Amino acid sequence: MPILAYRDALNQAMLEEMERDDNVYLMGEEVAEYNGAYKVSQGLWEKFGSRRVIDTPISEGGFSGIGIGSAMVGLRPIIEFMTFSFSLVAIDQILNNAANMRYMSGGQFSVPIVFRGSSGMAGCLAATHSHRLESIYAHFPGLTVVMPATAADAKGLLKSAIRSDDPVIFIEHENLYGEKGEVPEGDHLTPIGKANVVRAGSDVTMLTYSRSLITTLAAAEQLAGEGVSAEVIDLRTLRPLDMDTILASVLKTHRCVIIEENWPYCGIGAGVADRIYQQVFDELDAPIRRVTAKDAPIPYNRKLEASMLPTVERIVAKVNDVLYRKA
C-alpha cells in the first residue's frame, strides 16, 4: 500500500473523481495556476484545464453561490476555501441556501456540493485565521460535516463527499497536510457517518477527531505504560454522528474523555457528551471529562498558541480523573 502525504491523498481523491465524472469541478482562490494555497490541487489545472479548475476572485460569498447554483442544475462542485475562517464571508450562502434547498424545495433540488479547506491553529496565524468552525456547521440540519485525521481517510472521505447528493463541509487541518500514511489505491471510499476504533481498550473511551487524534494516541501510549487500557475512537464525521460505535465503547469501558482542539463552550464535545448522558447515563462510572483548546482568542506568538492546545499531559490528567487514579 503506497505511503502518501495527507495533501497528496486529497489530490488523488479529486483527480480520481474528476476522471470518473465530468460533472465534478474545482473552484476557489489560487486552485488553478498556483496549484492551491497548500498545493492540494497540484497538477489538476494542467490536466483538466480552466473549465474544470477555476481560479476565483477573493469573494467567498460570490463563488460559493455560483457553486450552489451549479449543483442545483446537476454539477458536482468542490469549493475550496483558502481557510475555513474565510467561509464566514459565505455563511449566508452555505446555511440559508445550500443547507436548506432540498427541504425548502420539497425535494425538487439537491445540492451535491463539497466545501473544503484548511482549519485550526497552524502556526502563528493569529485569531482571524485560526478559527475552528465545525461546531457552527454541525449545528445546522441539512449539512454533513467531515474532519479526517489520516491520509487514508482524507482520500476515502473526500471521494464519498464528492459523491454525496447533499452539501458536505469537509474540514482539513493545516498541520496535517504533510502527515504521511498508507493510502489504498483505486476506488477507496470511507463511509460518511462511521467512526473508526483506532485503538482497542477496556478501561476508558477516548473520543477525538482531526489533528487531536495524534495527541490522543500519544496519551493512550503513555497510559498503556501505566497499566491503563484506553480505547481511542476517531469520530471522522461530526454530523451525522456515529452514536452506535460511541455507545458500544462507553458500555464496555464505562468511562469517557473527549479531546478536541475546539473551544469548550458549545463545542462538539459538549454535544457528544450530552448524547451519551441521555442514552447511557446509568452505565457511566464517572462523569465525562473534556480536553479542549483554552477559552480565548488564538494568540500570534508560537509558544502562547501551543499553550492553547490539548496536550498529552492534560489528556492523561483527565483520564486519571475519570479512573479515580492519583497522578
Q: Under a CB-based contact definition with an 8 Å cutoff, are residues 244 and 279 in contact? A: no
Please determine, for residue 285, whether its predicted confidence score (pLDDT) is greater than 70: yes
Alpha helices, H only, 73-200:
91-92, 101-104, 134-138, 151-163
> So what's the pLDDT on residue 327?
65
**pLDDT tens track for 145-173:** 999 999 999 999 999 999 999 999 999 99
Topology classification of domain 196-322: Rossmann fold (3.40.50)
The pLDDT of residue 314 is 96
38-86 residue pLDDT tens: 999 999 999 999 999 999 999 999 999 999 999 999 999 999 999 999 9
Q: What percent of the chain has pLDDT over 70?
A: 99
Q: Domain locations in the chain?
A: 3-182, 196-322
Report whether pLDDT(300) > 90: no
To the query of whether residue 16 is one of the catalytic residues in this protein, the response is no
Question: Averaged over 283-294, what is the pLDDT?
Answer: 97
Give me the sign of the Cα torsion angle 107, 70, 37, 12. Answer: positive
Task: Residues 3-182: name the CATH superfamily.
Answer: Thiamin diphosphate (ThDP)-binding fold, Pyr/PP domains (3.40.50.970)
**Identified catalytic residue from 16, 17, 60, 231:** 60
**For the segment 85-115, what is each residue's pLDDT rounded down to a tens digit?**
999 999 999 999 999 999 999 999 999 999 9
Buried b (16+ CB within 10 A) or exposed e, 240-264: ebbeebbbebbeebbbbbbbbbbbe
Give me the amino acid identity at 20.
R
Residue 124: predicted pLDDT: 67
Equal CATH topology for 3-182 and 196-322: yes
- Residue 129 annotated among the catalytic residues of the structure: yes
Spot the catalytic one: 16, 29, 129, 172.
129
